[in-house]
């Protein structure tokens, strides 16, 4: 049975509408995913007085649980946090391997037993960046990369992964 051109046009229009809807849905999906991926990204920032440009994940963890206290003989590490922001929860879970409550309890225990000074607390991301900018030796985290006269972005690497890659390259070289 032959279909009329009008019917064909209607079918084509329906397919086009469906395709457009699919395309719009795909775009929305991609946009949501990219926002989610973007917001998951955590950048480590520091005052430009900090004498390093890269830290291993272990070194960053040691800083944020109070084990590592100095950048060098004359510069104190000043960790800055923003507990009221969601980025804080993501940061502490990813880099200190503690939940935000465990992180808070850990520092309260250090603070109320005289073992350490509680990290500087910021009310928002903007406030955190300002505090890092103003304080020598300060380190913090942000959702975007920042490089200004007073704040720089620190590269974070997984020491184990670097060693594995190095060993792998060494093996290939030997072969």
Stretch in the footprint of another protein (CB under 8 A) among 11-19, 22-30, 91-99, 143-151: 91-99
Among 5, 6, 114, 174, binds another protein (CB under 8 A): 114
Q: Does 86 bind another protein (CB under 8 A)?
A: no
Taking the least distance from each CB to another protein, the nearer of 23 and 163 is 163
| Three-state SS at 145 | coil
CB-based contact 76:66 (threshold 8 Å): no
Q: Compute the distance between CA of residue 135 and CA of residue 138 in angstroms, rounded to an integer.
A: 5
Q: Does 144 bind another protein (CB under 8 A)?
A: no
- Residue 162's contacts (CB-CB under 8 Å, 6 or more residues apart) are 56
Q: Where are the beta strands (DSSP E) in 11-168?
A: 43-47, 54-56, 70-72, 75-76, 78-81, 120-121, 138-142, 151-157
Binding segment (CB under 8 A) for another protein, from list 16-24, 28-36, 76-84, 151-159: 76-84
Q: Which is nearer to another protein, 146 or 156 (CB)?
A: 156
By CB under 8 A, tell whether 118 contacts another protein: yes
Least separation in angstroms between residue 93's CB and another protein is 10
Our finding on whether 70 is near another protein (CB under 8 A) is yes
Beta-sheet pairing, 151-157 with 75-76: unpaired
Question: CA quadruple 62, 66, 67, 71: dihedral positive or negative?
Answer: positive
Identify the residue among 117, 146, 154, 156 touching another protein (CB under 8 A): 117
Residue 99 lies near another protein (rule: CB under 8 A): yes
**156 has which bridge partners?**
55
Distance between CA 132 and CA 156 in Å, rounded?
17
- Stretch of 17-25, 36-44, 94-102, 146-154 lying at the interface with another protein (CB under 8 A): 94-102
In the complex, the residues that contact another protein under the rule CB under 8 A are 62, 67-70, 73-76, 83-84, 97-102, 104-105, 108-109, 111-115, 117-118, 137
């Amino acid at each position: 049975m032959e279909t009329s051109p009008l019917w064909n046009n209607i079918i084509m229009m329906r397919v086009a509408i469906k395709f457009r809807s699919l395309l719009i849905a795909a775009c929305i999906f991609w946009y949501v995913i990219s926002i989610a991926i973007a917001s998951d990204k955590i950048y480590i920032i520091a005052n430009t007085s900090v004498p390093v440009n890269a830290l291993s994940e272990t070194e960053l963890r040691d800083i944020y649980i109070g084990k590592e206290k100095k950048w060098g003989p004359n510069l104190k590490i000043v960790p800055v946090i923003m507990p009221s922001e969601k980025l804080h929860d993501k940061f502490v879970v990813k880099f200190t391997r503690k939940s935000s409550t465990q992180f808070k309890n850990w520092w309260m225990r250090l603070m109320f037993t005289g073992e350490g000074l509680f990290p500087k607390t910021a009310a928002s991301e903007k406030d955190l960046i300002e505090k890092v900018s103003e304080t020598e030796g300060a380190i913090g985290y942000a959702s975007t990369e920042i490089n200004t006269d007073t704040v720089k972005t620190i590269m974070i690497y997984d020491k184990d992964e670097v060693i594995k890659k190095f060993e792998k390259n060494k093996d290939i070289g030997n072969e």
